[in-house]
Amino acid sequence: MTSGITTENGTYLTAAQLDALFERAENGEFLAGQRGTTRMGRPLAVGTDTAKPFTFRLDSARRMKLNRLAQRQNTSTAAVLRAFIDAA
């Protein structure tokens, strides 16, 4: 294991501090700045009930537009599509 890391904001974390943070995260505890409960994977409930995957094809130009829109809104492409459907 490494002796430590420096975070994006310049804070140095030792290996012991990292281990403690990993253990807290694995136990579902909140980390600094995090909201809600910690859960692995994608959300099961989106909207009013359990979400089921839905796949469709986009050409590269539309996919790029969707990706750019999601980046501008600081969200996922799926969230952009759900918002579009909700607005209809």
Domains of the chain by residue range: 1-40, 44-88
Q: What is the 3-state secondary structure (H, E, C) of 18-78?
A: HHHHHHHHHCCCCCCCCCCCCCCCCCCEECCEECCCCCCCCCHHHHHHHHHHHHHCCCCHH
Q: Are strands 4-6 and 49-50 parallel, antiparallel or unpaired?
A: unpaired
Handedness of CA 21, 23, 24, 28 (dihedral sign): positive
Q: What per-residue confidence (pLDDT) applies to 31?
A: 58
For the domain spanning 44-88, the CATH number is 1.10.1220
Whole-prediction pTM: 0.49
Q: What per-residue confidence (pLDDT) applies to 59?
A: 94
Residue reference for tokens 């537009």: 65
Q: What per-residue confidence (pLDDT) applies to 1?
A: 47
Per-residue pLDDT of the chain (88 residues; tens, 9 = 90+): 457 888 877 888 888 888 888 887 777 776 566 555 555 566 666 777 777 788 889 999 999 999 999 999 988 898 899 899 989 8
How far is the C-alpha of 20 from the C-alpha of 22, rounded, in Å? 5
